[in-house]
């Protein structure tokens, strides 16, 4: 793909940091915003990443940094996939070509990256809680803290944590600024009554009238004009919904305002900075993907993109050699649902990412997007299961963490047959540590009655979907990675597996490698390398971390000098359970050499998936080295 020349940005070129914005006229700030939008498009076209959200807040980003004294004033972006313009303005413009790459800029805000990132984020609905913490810290004398400003989208506002924070902030009455960035579009169209409420706030009135009312916000005008402004504001509120939820929660409400109108933004933000005393919410209406036609017309507003042509928007993607695990899951679930009308699917604001958009097209009444509300989603599934339905709770591993108490209390404790389909298991590449599925094996396998499976390839995933559909005796989970499968032959239909039974892949001698999940392909590659050295490992696929295949594991231990487990998860998971089993059966007393290969006890920063697994020590070369080490093959023999 031919790289488009960098845009002309004469004013932006003069901006080394936010302080430089504060010396510009309002007219110049509008030009900076235009140049910043072009620069953001150009930067993401070279690296890929989250585009639409950032384009929607370009004017807001410029205005916030121009009005407030960042980094003393704490600017906190919820989720923070909209933070690329913020990064460009805060001294990181020259590094944007490293975005989401190894040793480069994170795709999200990150405290260790810049003082302008006071709080790290990548999961939704956290910003108001964090900002309130900064505000209380400021008032208790914590040094170096000014205003606290949270920018949260309408999608993230569907998360219950955001309302917990609003309620607490309204109670404390601390000076706190919350900006609702309302683009009527999260990653998926925001769902539920709250979204309808926000839409009604401005749906029935001429937008210019609402904007004018916002410019004359009550309390920010000279005394003689305040009464008229107050009457106009109350009249407009009465014409829409007869009051505002935010004011009931203790916030002063300003808006809706045009989030792309620099004059409006600067006027409102300056007034708020000068006059606000307690918590205030500014409701700004924006357009996701603003200023880049392909993003504006995309169904997701250009949320995430590979490298692309700036002129056409065409993305540069390598051709796929195998179906993605996500697609295999979705197709397999649809096969099961076609034969069982009790099967329902639930996701938390990620229908496209989990493949449930395909399920919804065919089974619209049996597919539910609960919004960014994983806790509710899990307990909703528990209720569905208790009612006699067969719910598939389809959530990324990293997001399922948010519903852990519900998994324990509402599902496992009651032995309800909720099926957890865990996408993005293991390391995920450019999104880095915040989205890695590192902990689900451990946090699920220690729950009584929970069945935990991991697919070694796409054919195994199809069988595991069928297994989950057929399993009614308590909760069951299966995990699968991001990206393409290994290209194996797919069965036409999945067949239920025997619970707690693994499979032998290759018979060998001396050392056995017991794989759990999608590292099996790397294990097989390591075996080929070892066979060239005259070492022929036994390879088995555990399939289940809970319950373990006791007979298989104990037989491997009995027949081999050494046993190595491998998994795409943190310590405390599959390998730890195998070690416990071996210890309880006194296997170590007879001299078995045991090693467990897991993700290291660090958060691994973004890189390509292969590089991340190399950093984790879980690629075929690492497996080969571990086998040689456990067998006592010295360095000279390894090099021979």
Which phi and psi angles does 6 have, rounded to 5°? -65, 145
Beta strands in 239-339 (DSSP E): 252-258, 279-285, 304-305
Specify whether 498 is catalytic.
no
Classify residue 454 by its DSSP letter. E
Q: Could you say which of 215, 402, 543, 626 is catalytic? A: 402
Q: How many CB atoms lie within 10 A of CB 274?
A: 9
Which phi and psi angles does 421 have, rounded to 5°? -100, 110
Q: 419-423 and 176-182: which strand pairing?
A: unpaired
Task: Report in angstroms the alpha-carbon separations of 256 from 146, 215, 270.
Answer: 26, 10, 16
CA distance 517 to 210: 55
Beta strands in 286-418 (DSSP E): 304-305, 343-347, 367-369, 390-396
CA distance 121 to 101: 18
Q: How many CB atoms lie within 10 A of CB 65?
A: 27
Of 118, 131, 129, 47, nearest in space to 86 by CA: 118
CA distance 21 to 472: 61
Q: Could you say which of 336, 374, 567, 568 is catalytic? A: 374
Of 115, 127, 132, 15, nearest in space to 70 by CA: 115
CA distance 636 to 630: 15
Specify whether 402 is catalytic.
yes
* Residue 517 CB partners (closer than 8 Å, separation 6+): 425, 426, 454, 455, 456, 479, 481, 567, 568, 569
Q: Could you say which of 288, 366, 424, 626 is catalytic? A: 288
Q: Which two tokens stand for residue 170?
A: 């309204």
Q: Which two tokens stand for residue 229?
A: 């402004």
The per-residue b/e assignment along 257-273, b for 16 or more CB within 10 angstroms, e otherwise, is bbbbbbebbbbbbebbb
CA distance 296 to 411: 41
Sign of the four-CA dihedral 261, 36, 81, 120:
negative
Of 577, 414, 630, 441, nearest in space to 518 by CA: 441
Which phi and psi angles does 289 have, rounded to 5°? 80, 10
CA distance 113 to 149: 19
CA distance 354 to 331: 11
* Residue 386 CB partners (closer than 8 Å, separation 6+): 414, 416
Active site residues: 288, 374, 402
């Amino acid at each position: 793909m031919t790289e488009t020349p960098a845009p002309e940005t004469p004013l932006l070129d003069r901006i080394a940091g936010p302080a430089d914005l504060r010396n510009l006229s309002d007219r110049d700030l509008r030009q900076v915003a235009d140049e910043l939008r072009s620069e953001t498009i150009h930067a993401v076209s070279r690296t890929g990443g989250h585009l639409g959200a950032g384009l929607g807040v370009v004017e807001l980003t410029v205005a916030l940094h121009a009005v407030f004294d960042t980094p003393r004033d704490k600017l906190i972006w919820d989720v923070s996939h909209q933070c690329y313009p913020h990064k460009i303005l805060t001294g990181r413009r020259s590094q944007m070509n490293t975005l989401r790459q190894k040793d480069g800029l994170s795709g999200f805000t990150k405290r260790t990256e810049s003082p302008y990132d006071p709080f790290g984020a990548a999961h939704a609905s956290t910003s108001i809680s964090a900002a309130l913490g900064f505000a209380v810290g400021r008032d208790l004398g914590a040094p170096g803290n000014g205003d606290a400003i949270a920018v949260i989208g309408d999608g993230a506002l569907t998360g219950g944590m955001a309302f917990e924070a609003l309620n607490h902030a309204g109670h404390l009455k601390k000076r706190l600024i919350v900006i609702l960035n309302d683009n009527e579009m999260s990653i998926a169209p925001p769902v539920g009554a709250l979204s309808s409420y926000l839409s009604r706030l401005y749906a029935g009135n001429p937008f210019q009238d609402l904007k004018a009312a916002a410019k004359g916000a009550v309390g920010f005008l000279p005394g003689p004009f305040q009464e008229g402004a107050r009457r106009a504001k109350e009249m407009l509120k009465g014409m829409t919904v007869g009051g505002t939820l935010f004011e009931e929660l203790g916030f002063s409400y300003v808006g809706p305002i045009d989030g792309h109108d620099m004059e409006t933004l600067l006027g409102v933000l300056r007034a708020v900075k000068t006059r606000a005393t307690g918590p205030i919410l500014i409701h700004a209406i924006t357009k996701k993907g603003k200023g880049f036609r392909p993003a504006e017309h995309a169904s997701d507003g250009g949320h995430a993109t590979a490298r692309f042509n700036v002129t056409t928007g065409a993305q540069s993607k390598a051709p796929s050699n195998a179906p993605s695990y996500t697609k295999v899951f979705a197709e397999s679930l649809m096969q099961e649902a076609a034969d069982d009308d009790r099967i329902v699917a639930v996701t938390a604001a990620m229908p496209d990412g989990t493949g449930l958009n395909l399920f919804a097209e065919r089974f619209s009444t049996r597919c539910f997007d609960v919004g960014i509300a994983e806790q509710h989603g899990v307990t909703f599934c528990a209720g569905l299961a208790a009612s006699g339905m067969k719910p598939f709770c389809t959530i990324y591993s990293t997001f399922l963490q948010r519903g852990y108490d519900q998994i324990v209390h509402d599902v496992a404790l009651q032995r309800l047959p909720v099926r957890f389909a865990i996408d993005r298991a293991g390391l995920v590449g450019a999104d880095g540590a915040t989205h890695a599925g590192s902990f689900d094996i451990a946090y699920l396998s220690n729950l009584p009655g929970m069945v935990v499976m991991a697919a070694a390839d796409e054919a195994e995933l199809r069988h595991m979907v069928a297994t989950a559909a057929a399993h009614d005796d308590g909760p069951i989970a299966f995990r699968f990675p991001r990206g393409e499968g290994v290209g194996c032959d797919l069965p036409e239909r999945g067949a239920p597996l025997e619970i707690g039974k693994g499979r032998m892949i290759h018979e060998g001698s001396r050392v056995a490698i017991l794989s759990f999940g999608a590292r099996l392909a790397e294990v097989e590659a390591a075996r080929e390398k070892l066979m060239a050295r005259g070492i022929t490992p036994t390879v088995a696929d555990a399939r289940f971390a809970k319950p373990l295949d006791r007979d298989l594991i104990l037989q491997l231990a009995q027949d081999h000098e050494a046993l190595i487990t491998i998994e795409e998860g943190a310590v405390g998971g599959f390998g730890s359970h195998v070690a416990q089993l071996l210890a309880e059966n006194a296997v170590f007393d007879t001299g078995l050499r045991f090693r467990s290969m897991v993700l290291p006890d660090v958060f691994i920063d973004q890189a390509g998936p292969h590089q991340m697994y190399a950093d984790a020590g879980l690629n075929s070369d690492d497996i080969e080295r571990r086998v040689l080490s456990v067998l006592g093959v010295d360095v000279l023999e390894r090099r021979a």
